Amino acid sequence: MNNQSLDIATLVKTQKKGFALTQPFYLSDAVFEKDVDSFFYQDWQMAGHVSEIPQAGDYFLFEMMKESVIIVRGKDGTVHALANVCRHRGSRVCIEPRGNTKRFTCPYHAWAFNLDGSLFNARMLDEDHDRSKLGLKRVAVEVFHGLIYVSFSDAPASFDKLRADLDPVLAPFALERTKIAYRESYPVRANWKLLVENYNECYHCTAAHPEFARSHVTHMAAERVEPLNAEMQARSKLAGVPTDYFDCIGSARPKGSPDYACNRYSLFDGYLTGSEDGAPLAPLLGKVKAYDSGASDVYVGILNPMLIYCDHALIYRFIPVDKDTSIQEIIWLVHEDASEGTDYDLDRLKWLWDVTTIADKRIIEKNQEGVNSRFYEPGPFVSMEAYTQRFIEAYLTTLTNA
Ligand code: FES
Ligand code: FE
């Protein structure tokens, strides 16, 4: 759908509350362009984990659509995010996806930049140019419990409130003392919103995820879940895991403010963690003293949910490629001292979310095929899809304000 004259404001205004989005939200090039500007280049995006760059000079590239950012540890240990665009004539400066270097040298005419982005050398450049103004552009970066977030925005939303509110929620798990045990990218032939909508509801879990539904309660009615959560909270207290969480993905999403939310819920009896048989998968994280048989859902922005069990954590990244294609990436984190083969078995660790994400890919792609049809007509949400509805309301609010 290449409808340049599409009026997005009218599209938003005529969207029926409580119903799935209308077709142009998924098929229109104009809407996708607006999505790119309103979301991907405004929100904070999870770029990686500090364990990927332990030494000075370690770097990796974070790439999203047209943008490429060098995430690098400076000489003094600071994490820098630098636009991967040469200040001479614009070439990519860093080509390798990860590595270690003393400085970055552009492959085109060999301008060289220090680890903090400042210009080190520009051959034959007239002395009258101010070299201090020709460093690589700095991209906003925040390191939060070991997770590295960047924003492409010129005026990124403050991270302060999110940091203060989520600090006590994340502290017991010491994610800054974890390492990446495994990461996997799942390409999905669907618009990014269908991935986020799917992640935010478990109405589909009974039918689509028999493996997940055995251990997780999120597909059950609230009456069934509340007693289990009450029992878990007593265990959580002993385990040193706070559960007096708040829930703050609001539909009135203030412009320029990153959304965040969290809650901890119980697994079914017999499941200590998100494993096939309920048994532990890895050493306990951080300061967690015992298994409370719970899982924390934590959201930092719309595209960056995470799920934290007592012995491992998963970071999700929804990466738009173009209007019709997205990538679902999952990063599995375990305690930094855990050794593969001794302290954890990789196949067991990744089993649940690998099998679940493969199933999600299938249902989301079928969802997209139906949405493409001339017979598609948005239907009503049910109460179990409340988080998906909130995502849609937040999305519409952002489009309106953008
Ligand atoms: Fe980088 Fe010329 S474009 S040195
Ligand atoms: Fe799913």
Which of 106, 172, 167 minimizes the C-alpha distance to 309? 172
Task: Say how many Å lie between the CA of residue 134 and the centre of ligand 1.
Answer: 12
pLDDT in the model for residue 251: 34
Residue 318 lies in a domain: yes
Domain assignment present for residue 251? The answer is: yes
32 part of a folded domain: no
121 C-beta closer than 6 A to ligand 1: no
pLDDT at 263: 82
Residue 152 lies in a domain: no
Residues 260 and 383 in one domain: yes
What's the confidence (pLDDT) of residue 253?
40
**Which of the residues in the chain have pLDDT under 50?**
2, 248-257
Residue nearest to atom 4 of ligand 1 (CA): 109
Structure token pair of residue 97 = 């996806």
Q: Which of 109, 143, 177 is the last residue of a domain?
A: 143
Please tell me the distance from the alpha carbon of residue 310 to that of residue 334, in angstroms, as a whole number: 10
Pocket test for ligand 1, best of 70, 85, 87, 88 (most atoms within 8 A of CB): 88
Instruction: Take atom 2 of ligand 1 and give the residue whose Cα is closest.
Output: 109
pLDDT at res. 1: 55
Whether 121 is in a domain gets the answer yes
Same domain, yes or no: 239 and 362 = yes
Q: Are residues 307 and 334 in the same domain?
A: yes
Domain range holding 105? 45-143
- 310: domain CATH number is 3.90.380.10
Query: How far does the centroid of ligand 1 lie from the alpha carbon of residue 88, in Å?
Result: 5
Claim to verify: residue 257 and residue 321 sit in the same structural domain: yes
Q: Which residues of 274-351 form beta strands (DSSP E)?
A: 294-300, 305-308, 313-322, 325-335
Q: How far is the CA of 93 from the centre of ligand 1 (A)?
A: 8
Quick one: which atom of ligand 1 is closest to the CA of 106? 1
pLDDT at 17: 94
Domain-ending residue, one of 143, 168, 188:
143
Q: Is residue 256 part of a domain?
A: yes
| CB of residue 108 inside a 6 A radius of ligand 1 | yes
Q: Indicate if 178 and 271 belong to the same structural domain.
A: yes
| Ligand 1 pocket test, candidate residues 82, 108, 129, most atoms within 8 A of CB | 108
In the prediction, which pLDDT does 182 show?
98
Which of the listed residues 116, 143, 170 is the one where a domain comes to its end? Answer: 143
Q: Return the CATH number at 66.
A: 2.102.10.10
Domain count, the chain: 2
Ligand 1 atom closest to Cα of residue 111? 4
Q: 92 in ligand 1 pocket by Cβ < 6 Å?
A: no
Which residue has its alpha carbon closest to ligand 1 atom 3?
Answer: 89
What pLDDT was estimated at residue 304?
A: 87
What's the confidence (pLDDT) of residue 247?
53
Q: Is the dihedral of CA 236, 348, 308, 274 positive or negative?
A: negative
Nearest atom in ligand 1 to 87's CA:
1
For 280, the 3-state DSSP assignment is coil
State the pTM of this model: 0.93
d(CA 106, CA 84): 10
Other residues' Cβ atoms within 10 Å of the Cβ of residue 287: 13
379 and 293 in a single domain? The answer is yes
The angle that helices 346-371 and 192-199 make with each other, rounded to 10 degrees, is 120
